[in-house]
A and B are shown apart, each in its own frame.
Chain A
Amino acid sequence: MDALVKKRIKQVLKGDQNAFADIVSLYQHKLYQICYRMLGNKQEAEDIAQEAFVRAYINLHTFDPKRKFSTWLYRIATNLCIDRIRKKKPDYYLDAEVDGTDGLNMYSHIANDDQLPEDAALQMEFQERIQHEISKLPEKYRTVIVLKYIEECSLQEISEILDLPLGTVKTRIHRGREALRKQLNEL
């Protein structure tokens, strides 16, 4: 896969824009997943993931071919996600109870765009809860937990993606795990 990616990168740099389609096709799911897990919203995730590919295309000449392409690409995406999270400090939390309703929170106001059959509902609820718990993590910990446990990146890779020392990455993962443990056992 690496050889193919490197070949496509060369073609794009020579001016063959269509060669970039293969790069998008290879990484679209991984990149979208990072954005979705970080942002917890499908529209935003799609927008940011697309933006990340566009930026990768524009700045492709700055990519060092000796390094891993996925690391470079994930870095663009995580930076965009972190920027987005910091820009829109939410005025309300989705799980905050809405005034005058009995136990209804903002989740019940969000239209569910996935039409799933009834027997998938149970699974759906569980998956929804996972995303809910991820979204509750402070952004610092959320990023490392998503990269480590959902994208299955190594600690070394995470350190390169986030441009942080390995020690800092470890500390954040430890604190992220502790935060998650507390969240899960509060219920």
Chain B
Amino acid sequence: MSTCPQHIIEYMHEYLDGDISREHEQVLKQHLKTCTACQKHMHQLSDAVAFIKSAAQITAPPHFEEKVMKRLPRPKNRLGIQNWLRRHPFLVAAAMFILFMSATLFGSFNDDKFSVTKQPNLVVEGQTVIVPEGEVVKGDIVVKNGDIVVEGEVDGNVIVINGEYMASTAVVTGQIHEIDQVFEWVWYEVKRMTKDFLALFENGKD
């Protein structure tokens, strides 16, 4: 074999790689027909390939996936939420606002003590507030968990929460609100707060 041209062995490898040209293949075949040493070499190479290829397919040990997942760095997930919070500060603020608002509002709505705005010349009889005939009340009247009877005059708004407004020939210069449902109560409170809030700005401008 030492007398054989070196390129014959090159051709053997080209053949084993599966990218041998037609001419090279012809040269190789012709040579192998006459040279037993090269035949032997070719066989040994093919056997080596077959030997390696007969290696059994190996599978990963049990719980491999779990172990990998445990080794992954943790922070990514938590960072996701933090990033989200950081990216949407307005939504977060709004959510917090609504949370606290509803908590306080429901709290105050559910408290069912009778109460009324203190105004001179108002008469309270049990849970009924009376604006006596011939009297003029200056300012708003808010009645909670009670009724109001207006026989005189009110120079302002009358607001009744969880109660009834009764009037015959009364004169009320402002608006009259009767609120007896939670949602109305919330809506009323929100409107009031917004008004106060806007008033704050308007005052600022002056």
A contact residues vs B (CB 8 Å cutoff): 15, 17-18, 20-21, 24-25, 28-29, 31-33, 36-37, 42, 46, 49-51, 53-54, 57-58, 126-127, 130-131, 133-134, 145, 149-150, 155, 170, 173-174, 177-178, 180-181, 184-185
CB of B80 within 8 A of chain A? yes
Cβ-closest chain B residue relative to A133 = B51
Given A181-B44, A184-B47, 13 more A-B residue pairs with CB atoms under 8 Å apart are A15-B76, A17-B76, A20-B69, A29-B59, A33-B58, A145-B52, A155-B17, A155-B19, A170-B13, A173-B17, A174-B10, A181-B45, A184-B51
User: A32 and B72: CB pair below 8 A?
Assistant: no
CB of B94 within 8 A of chain A? no
User: A25 and B65: CB pair below 8 A?
Assistant: yes
Q: How far is the CB of B73 from chain A (nearest CB, A)?
A: 7
User: A58 and B80: CB pair below 8 A?
Assistant: no
Q: How far is the CB of A93 from chain B (nearest CB, A)?
A: 20
User: B71 and A54: CB pair below 8 A?
Assistant: yes
From residue 31 to 60 of chain B, which have CB atoms closer than 8 A to chain A? 41, 44-45, 47-49, 51-60
1/0 contact string of B71-110 vs chain A (CB within 8 Å): 1110011011000000000000000000000000000000
Residues of B within 8 A of A180 (CB): 48, 51-52
CB of B64 within 8 A of chain A? yes
User: When A54-B68, A57-B72 are in contact, do A177 and B13 touch as well, CB less than 8 Å?
Assistant: yes
Q: How far is the CB of A52 from chain B (nearest CB, A)?
A: 9
User: B13 and A127: CB pair below 8 A?
Assistant: no
Residues of B within 8 A of A36 (CB): 58
CB of B120 within 8 A of chain A? no
Q: How far is the CB of A121 from chain B (nearest CB, A)?
A: 14
Expressed in whole angstroms, the Cα–Cα distance for A134 and B64 within the complex equals 24
CB of B176 within 8 A of chain A? no
User: B16 and A177: CB pair below 8 A?
Assistant: yes
Pairs A–B under 8 Å by Cβ, sample size 14: A24-B64, A24-B65, A28-B64, A29-B58, A37-B55, A46-B67, A49-B60, A54-B71, A126-B54, A150-B53, A155-B17, A177-B16, A177-B48, A181-B47
CB of B61 within 8 A of chain A? yes
User: A50 and B68: CB pair below 8 A?
Assistant: yes
Which of B13, B64, B71 has the most CB atoms of chain A within a 10 A radius of its CB? B64
Q: How far is the CB of B62 from chain A (nearest CB, A)?
A: 11
Residues of B within 8 A of A126 (CB): 54
Q: How far is the CB of A110 from chain B (nearest CB, A)?
A: 17
Q: How far is the CB of B124 from chain A (nearest CB, A)?
A: 62
Expressed in whole angstroms, the Cα–Cα distance for A20 and B76 within the complex equals 12
* Cross-interface CB contact of A127 among B55, B69, B80, cutoff 8 Å: B55
User: A170 and B55: CB pair below 8 A?
Assistant: no
From residue 1 to 49 of chain B, which have CB atoms closer than 8 A to chain A? 10, 13, 16-17, 19, 41, 44-45, 47-49
User: B45 and A177: CB pair below 8 A?
Assistant: yes
Q: How far is the CB of A31 from chain B (nearest CB, A)?
A: 8
* Cross-interface CB contact of A150 among B41, B52, B59, B60, cutoff 8 Å: B52
Closest 9 CB pairs of A and B: A32-B60, A15-B80, A174-B13, A28-B60, A180-B48, A149-B52, A33-B58, A53-B68, A181-B48
Cβ-closest chain A residue relative to B52 = A149
User: A131 and B65: CB pair below 8 A?
Assistant: no
Cβ-closest chain A residue relative to B41 = A181
User: B64 and A130: CB pair below 8 A?
Assistant: no
Residues of A within 8 A of B68 (CB): 24, 28, 50, 53-54
